[in-house]
Chains A and B, each alone.
Chain A
Amino acid sequence: MNIAILSNVNVTHVINEIKKIQEFDVYTPNGYGIWLEEIINPFSELYNFEPEVVFFLLDGSELFERLGFEHALERLEIIVNKAKVNKNIHFFIPEIDVWDKRIIPNDELSQGRIFEEAWNKKVYDSVSLLSNIHVIKLKSIVEYIGRKDFYSDKLWYLGGIKFSNLAVKYIIDEIKILVKAYKKERKKVLIIDLDNTLWGGVVGEVGVSGIELSDFKEGRRFKDFQNRIKEMKETGVILAIASKNNENDVKEVFENHKDMVLEWDDIVSKKINWENKVVNIKQIAEELNLGIDSFVFIDDSPMERELVKENLPCEVPDFPTDTSQLNNFAIEIYRKYFYTLRITEEDKKKTQMYLAESKREELKKSVKNIDEFLESLEMKMKIWKAKPEDVSRIAELTQKTNQFNLTTIRLTEAEVLERMEDENYDVYLASVEDKFGDYGKVLLAFVKKNQKEKTAEIENILMSCRVFGRNLELQFLEYIQERLEKEGIEKIYGKYIPTAKNKPAEDFYERMGYRLIDSKDGIKTYEQDIQNRTVIRSYARLEYEN
């Protein structure tokens, strides 16, 4: 991966350390005075290098002292403007620290402090405007290890180096975490034990009122820990419980203990029994349909941890022996396994979606056949022609959908927009909900029309795997056919291009009653006379929106 480092001070020691990390190809300009030129000049070595990410390790004090308030902020403006035109490069801009050492009266606010706040505010403002701007929190590192250890006067006066070797260690860790988050390599599920983990004591022995969990003193460490776990959940981490306990005791804690932070419905899967935890974790994986290698398991018992570690590919961090560190432990877990740059709409709804899915599974087991199941879901499908605000979701669907994807044409947001603006193209989108919850926008079709010939070609049609097996794809295309018929189209063509993963879509056109007219290298072409099309059984109530 190509990564570039730009700085206004000498960061040779940072570069040397980053170069030791195998996965990185590192670029940095010769000399630290030219970081801005590298950004401004479109023909610079920097752009020539085609970095995927650029880290700005700017020293706030030096920025401010050398350039002054206005000029330094202008530099930030320039970076943001360059981010606007270089959408494929991700810019990590620092939240800076300014150590204003000038001598001023006690009661006067330092200019450095004002500058620092102005800069940092602007950084976060630009983050909300551009999806390729992120923050590297240098200021947070300074706050954590302290200015006296972060900076070295000696290195500065002798070598133009601001950051100490200790600071470099933290900066490198931060860069690694940020790159991992940028690549979305986060784990998915956090499995937690209960007794002596979420609260102090064994609830089966001391009862609900006897456990340690409170707003103050000893019980507070568990409450803080729960707060952090709840916050992780809000970022899209799925929570599960694996605990040797009586479910009734546990339920009572969740329902009646006034200091419980986590709620019963925050936990997607609960294995509260006397079964081996390895078995329980395997079951959780099966229920959620997720790989165990995306799990992190937290338990205070070294024996349980050892057992899980030996038998399953999930992450098993050591539990702190000093539980006053629980709060920091949770933060560490988040940084190490779940760190995320931003949360998506989907992240916010994740727990809800998985809860709804487990209710569907229950329903499925209780009905006689699949027909009855589909009827009882009370599905609603809303179909509309794509609008500008749908663009990012549409691009995402074309990029991420592998299974039900007829031609696997991947599109960027710009290419999606092109099609939406082309009058020969129709882009249809559908969202689905049932009585258990909302699936969001899950079906998509690109239709290319030829009004003169009265024909239309389905360039691609795709569906998220969340709604497999509901017959929705048939109903979706049937609606599009109806629309095309009204517009005077007489013939429709469709194509299936096989990939390693899109087998589930292979017989789609056959199920729609299309005629195979050509088959070459696995690529199948179909046609349909719109007048004589097959009747489709519908399970979802349709809503159209123009």
Chain B
Amino acid sequence: MNDLSKKLLEIAHEILGRWVELEQDKQEVPEWDSFAHLMLINRVEEEFGIAIPIEDTANIRKLSDFLQYISK
């Protein structure tokens, strides 16, 4: 696993209070509610110095979905 993915998992753990898989759908994670979703997006933006368009926020369903913005 690369450093980016590791960092993502750590951020998710911090916000959700549990570990999730990169490919796990947020539907399967009760802690991943709409508020946690916002926190996750903001933290990823801050951590990697990127901006995720507001239009895309609803399409992010699993941690790996963040990778396309980070590795750009």
Partners in one complex: yes
B41 partner residues in chain A, CB cutoff 8 A: 154
Contact B38 A166 (CB under 8 A): no
Listed stretches A96-104, A155-163, A241-249, A423-431; interface member: A155-163
Q: A12-B35, A13-B39 are in contact. Are A158 and B54 (CB under 8 A)?
A: yes
* Residues from 7 to 37 in B contacting A, C-beta threshold 8 Å: 34-35
A164 in the interface (beta carbon within 8 A): yes
Contact B54 A165 (CB under 8 A): no
A152 in the interface (beta carbon within 8 A): yes
**Which single member of B34, B35, B57 contacts A154 (CB below 8 Å)?**
B57
A161 partner residues in chain B, CB cutoff 8 A: 38
B45 partner residues in chain A, CB cutoff 8 A: 152, 154
Minimum CB–CB distance from A147 to chain B (whole Å) comes to 15
B46 in the interface (beta carbon within 8 A): yes
Contact B42 A152 (CB under 8 A): yes
Minimum CB–CB distance from A164 to chain B (whole Å) comes to 6
Contact A158 B57 (CB under 8 A): yes
Contact A155 B38 (CB under 8 A): yes
Contact B42 A165 (CB under 8 A): yes
B43 in the interface (beta carbon within 8 A): yes
Query: How far is it, in angstroms, between the C-alpha of A161 and the C-alpha of B38 when the chains are bound?
Result: 9
Minimum CB–CB distance from A424 to chain B (whole Å) comes to 62
* Residues from 183 to 230 in A contacting B, C-beta threshold 8 Å: none
**Size bracket of the B interface:** 10 to 19
Query: How far is it, in angstroms, between the C-alpha of A165 and the C-alpha of B45 when the chains are bound?
Result: 10
Contact B54 A164 (CB under 8 A): no
Q: A158-B54, A158-B57 are in contact. Are A164 and B46 (CB under 8 A)?
A: yes
**Size bracket of the A interface:** 10 to 19
A13 partner residues in chain B, CB cutoff 8 A: 35, 39
Query: How far is it, in angstroms, between the C-alpha of A226 and the C-alpha of B42 when the chains are bound?
Result: 40
Interface centre among B39, B42, B52 (most CB of A within 10 A): B42
Chain A residue with the shortest CB-CB distance to B47: A165
Contact A165 B35 (CB under 8 A): no
Contact A154 B54 (CB under 8 A): yes
Chain A residue with the shortest CB-CB distance to B11: A165
Query: How far is it, in angstroms, between the C-alpha of A154 and the C-alpha of B38 when the chains are bound?
Result: 9
Contact A155 B42 (CB under 8 A): yes
Minimum CB–CB distance from B35 to chain A (whole Å) comes to 6
A155 partner residues in chain B, CB cutoff 8 A: 38, 42
A159 partner residues in chain B, CB cutoff 8 A: 34-35, 38
Query: How far is it, in angstroms, between the C-alpha of A13 and the C-alpha of B34 when the chains are bound?
Result: 13
Q: A154-B41, A155-B38 are in contact. Are A165 and B57 (CB under 8 A)?
A: no
B42 partner residues in chain A, CB cutoff 8 A: 152, 154-155, 164-165
Query: How far is it, in angstroms, between the C-alpha of A48 and the C-alpha of B45 when the chains are bound?
Result: 40
B57 partner residues in chain A, CB cutoff 8 A: 154, 158
* Residues from 42 to 66 in B contacting A, C-beta threshold 8 Å: 42-43, 45-46, 52, 54, 57
Query: How far is it, in angstroms, between the C-alpha of A462 and the C-alpha of B43 when the chains are bound?
Result: 57
Minimum CB–CB distance from B50 to chain A (whole Å) comes to 12
B38 partner residues in chain A, CB cutoff 8 A: 154-155, 158-159, 161
Q: A164-B42, A165-B42 are in contact. Are A157 and B54 (CB under 8 A)?
A: yes
B52 partner residues in chain A, CB cutoff 8 A: 154
A158 partner residues in chain B, CB cutoff 8 A: 38, 54, 57
9 nearest A-B residue pairs (beta carbon):
A159-B38, A165-B42, A165-B43, A152-B42, A166-B46, A155-B42, A154-B54, A158-B38, A155-B38
**Residues on A facing B (Cβ under 8 Å):** 12-13, 149, 152, 154-155, 157-159, 161, 164-166
Given pairs A154-B45, A165-B42, A165-B46, 19 additional interface contacts (CB within 8 A): A12-B35, A152-B45, A154-B41, A154-B42, A154-B52, A154-B54, A154-B57, A155-B38, A155-B42, A157-B54, A158-B38, A158-B54, A158-B57, A159-B35, A161-B38, A164-B42, A165-B39, A165-B43, A166-B46
A sample of 11 inter-chain contacts (CB < 8 A) reads: A13-B39, A149-B46, A154-B38, A154-B54, A155-B38, A157-B54, A159-B34, A159-B38, A161-B38, A164-B42, A165-B43
